[in-house]
Amino acid sequence: MRYISTRGQAPALNFEEVVLTGLATDGGLYVPEQFPQMSKDDIAALAGLPYAEAAFRIMKPFVGDCIPEATFKKILQETYASFKHDAVAPLKQLDSNHFLLELFHGPTLAFKDVALQLLGRLLDHFLAKRGERGVIMGATSGDTGSAAIEGCKPCTHVDIYILHPHNRVSEVQRRQMTTVLAPNVHNIAVEGDFDDCQAMVKASFADQSFLKGQRLIAVNSINWARIMAQVVYYFTSAVAVGAPHREVAFSVPSANFGDVFAGYVAYKMGLPIKQLIVATNANDILHRTLNDNDFSKKPLQPTLAPSMDIVVSSNFERLLFDLYNQDGQAIADLLQKFNQEPTQIDASAWSKARELFDSFSLDDAGILKVIKDAYEHTGELLDPHTATAYLASQQLAKDASTPIISLATAHPAKFEEAVIKAGFKQGAALPESMSDLLERKESYKVLPADLQAIQDEVARQQLASRG
Ligand SMILES: *Cc1c(COP(=O)(O)O)cnc(C)c1O
């Protein structure tokens, strides 16, 4: 499998190179040159398989011969053994034809674990093979940091540094990061805000000389391996409700478009998906683009579903590239225009998107009402992200005879504030495995919002780890 850039200028890479590379050198994102095909029989044969085995069959063509089969199988076994539910991503029936796909049984109780548990192990495998060490740097306003840290905890060739704004993340969010006491995990609390953290990470990627030759690796949502890992549960859940003999619809809480793009990949691989609903919060760029062909930025609005608070959806570029028949120059031109002024997608590309995608946006008041209503009707307590997809399923499903699967992207216990605002006396309980989170020992360093101070700390720790 070869991977090409959405802007058409960067060199093609194989899977190993793509996992170790973030953005392409032309500013684009890497995508497979062609989507591998799963026949009806291939899909039917996934029924009843353990999740790791289904994952192997679905991901194998993307990996090609970059990892020996037995090794890849072992990596997948370990990856999904870190989930607390045997099914990894179980389905719950809510209604005669409405299902909830629970993606929150991983170590940090959010769907990002599904991909980051795999990405950490893939990086470790490739770096070990090359005899290199890799350094991950990231900034977090809360959630992604802990999923990245948990993903790197088992790695022996990766050191991870996560910057969070000091005293500006919730105690549960901070503790999910700072109680991971592995020698390769470094939490830095920055005396500044999230933008300060992000700016210092960006500057460090732009000039990596402070690392003295070690490789800086990005694990953000544009890493291809994250998309690939997410394709799997579209297949396993669709098969569980009758695919390939029946069509299926999905409703997906969306921000950077990584999760729902994985659904699109499953569709391109042959999964009979009738409809993909893109559910957003008040940060509605995807909804405005898909519904009205208004491809423009709006200022960030903090919401009760913070993991969906974005201005630009980076992975949307991957869909555009496919809709534009892989014309990298046209994508580069479109995005240049988009960065300067409100614009539109080419009319035929937009119509093509509308054949499969529908979209939806829900503000905070709507989210609170859904949490309350859904509980009354189904007995399920939804987290505020999942709430957007739940209502979108009910309002936009094309026909009642097609099963529709709403993706549950986080455990409600992570979002106590929203649950209480929705009218509940208290938040949902943390699962057993995390019930002592508030008593665990923490480790983190507080540093000023100063690039030199941060880079000195990273360089000092790296020198120590090289021994
Ligand atoms: C990241 C995240 C999303 C959005 O996923 P994208 O791939 O960015 O579209 C939705 N819900 C939760 C809980 C998340 O953490």
Q: Per-residue pLDDT tens for 283-294?
A: 999 999 999 999
Choose which CATH entry (1.10.10.10, 3.40.50.1100, 3.40.50.720, 3.40.50.300) describes domain 87-109+224-421.
3.40.50.1100
> Which of 63-72, 142-151, 182-191, 376-385 comes out lowest in average pLDDT?
142-151
Is residue 280 in contact with ligand 1, taking CB distance under 6 Å?
no
Indicate whether 434 pLDDT > 90.
no
Any ligand 1 atom below 6 A from CB of 102: no
Q: What's the rounded Cα separation, in Å, for the pair 36 and 15?
A: 14
Residue 247 in contact with ligand 1 by CB distance below 6 A? no
pLDDT of residue 109: 94
> Is residue 385 in contact with ligand 1, taking CB distance under 6 Å?
yes
- 40: DSSP letter: H
Whether 204 lines ligand 1, by a CB cut-off of 6 Å, is no
What values do phi and psi take at 354, rounded to 5? -70, -20
Would you tell me how many other CB atoms lie within 10 Å of the CB of residue 1? 18
Query: 322-338 in b/e burial notation, b at 16+ Cβ within 10 A?
Result: bbbeebbebbbebbeeb
> 192 CA to middle of ligand 1, Å?
25
What's the whole-number mean pLDDT along residues 147-163?
A: 96
pLDDT digits (tens, 9 = 90+) for 6-65: 999 999 999 999 999 988 999 999 999 999 999 999 999 999 999 999 999 999 999 999
Scanning the structure block, which residue is given the tokens 């992207």? 409
pTM above 0.85, yes or no: yes
Residue to probe by mutation, ligand 1, list 315, 409, 411, most atoms within 8 Å of CB: 409
CB of 110 within 6 A of ligand 1: the answer is yes
| CB contact at 8 A, 433 and 128 | no
Neighbours of 302 (CB within 10 A): 11
Calculate mean pLDDT across residues 322-347. 98
Q: Which of 100, 111, 312 for mutating ligand 1's site (highest number of atoms within 8 Å of CB)?
A: 111
Question: What is the whole-number distance in angstroms between the Cα of residue 255 and the centre of ligand 1?
Answer: 6
Index of the ligand 1 atom closest to the CA of residue 260 = 9
Protein residue whose Cα sits closest to atom 2 of ligand 1: 307
Distance CA 101, CA 90 (A): 6
Average pLDDT, the chain: 95
Q: Which of 108, 308, 310, 386 has the most ligand 1 atoms within 8 A of CB, as the residue to mutate?
A: 308
Tokens, residue 54 = 């289904």
Q: Whose CA is nearest to atom 1 of ligand 1?
A: 307
Residues 6+ apart with CB under 8 A from 382: 370, 371, 374, 375, 390, 408, 412
Active site positions, annotated: 112
